[in-house]
A and B are shown apart, each in its own frame.
Chain A
């Protein structure tokens, strides 16, 4: 396993909502306060976000969903590390 660097000392932005600029720019997007509403819909645009990540071989780095625009993406949520299923 390679030496992991912490490329994300700053907090990741979390959801990046379309109203600022449709799912792209990180500039000028305000931190999201209390977003509880589900916005994801099949047939609708994916909602961009930035999250801190651990990537094998690369260490810690912020990852944006829109980094992968133009590719097929499978986004999987799961309840927790070290659980059983």
Chain B
């Protein structure tokens, strides 16, 4: 999975309110047993939740950052965000799909319809397309 992010030239950063020391021990004691060599991306500490707060993911009553993920483009613009309460894990396939779609849009100026996967038809916005989407895109 991380290999795919590398291929897409995406930097992954993980952040929780745990200290860097706890991150290290988690890596040693558990993550390195799930992932060979441990997780390769930086594990950041948001002690106090100030960073989570400005990103809208800090749960004040529990004192933790809930599951939020943000796609940031090379111009430092936030392109996508997804926030879940803690009980449900994420879907990395959908994250990768969105990264590919945003990269495609950035490279071509085309836009991608619902559920788009690389190689599928894209749309070229403009007066000519108005009322004609049905001709080119059949879900």
Q: Interface residues, chain A, CB within 8 Å of chain B?
A: 1, 4, 8, 12, 14-15, 17, 23, 32, 35-47, 49, 51-56, 60, 63, 65-66, 68-83, 85
Beyond the given A63-B44, A78-B67, please list 11 additional residue pairs across the A-B interface where CB-CB is below 8 A.
Answer: A35-B50, A38-B54, A38-B56, A40-B70, A60-B24, A73-B11, A73-B13, A74-B10, A74-B72, A77-B15, A81-B25
Q: Which of B21, B43, B47, B77 contacts A45 (CB 8 A)?
A: B77
Q: Could you jot down 10 A-B contacts, CB within 8 Å? A: A35-B53, A39-B54, A46-B76, A49-B51, A60-B20, A63-B13, A74-B13, A76-B69, A77-B69, A79-B67
Contact yes or no, B71 A79, CB < 8 A: no
Contact yes or no, B44 A51, CB < 8 A: yes
Whole-angstrom distance between the Cβ of B26 and the nearest chain A Cβ:
4
Summarize A's interface: helix, strand, loop or mixed.
loop
Contact yes or no, B22 A81, CB < 8 A: yes
Using a Cβ cutoff of 8 Å, how many contacts connect chains A and B?
A: 191
The tally of residues in B whose CB lies under 8 Å from a CB in A reads 72
Bound-state CA distance A66–B57 (Å) is 20
Q: Interface residues, chain B, CB within 8 Å of chain A?
A: 5, 8-28, 30, 32, 37-40, 42-48, 50-57, 59-60, 62, 64-74, 76-81, 86-90, 95, 99, 102-103
Bound-state CA distance A61–B50 (Å) is 19
Whole-angstrom distance between the Cβ of A53 and the nearest chain B Cβ:
5
Contact yes or no, B46 A8, CB < 8 A: no
Known interface pairs A63-B13, A71-B74; A77-B55 also in contact (CB < 8 Å): yes
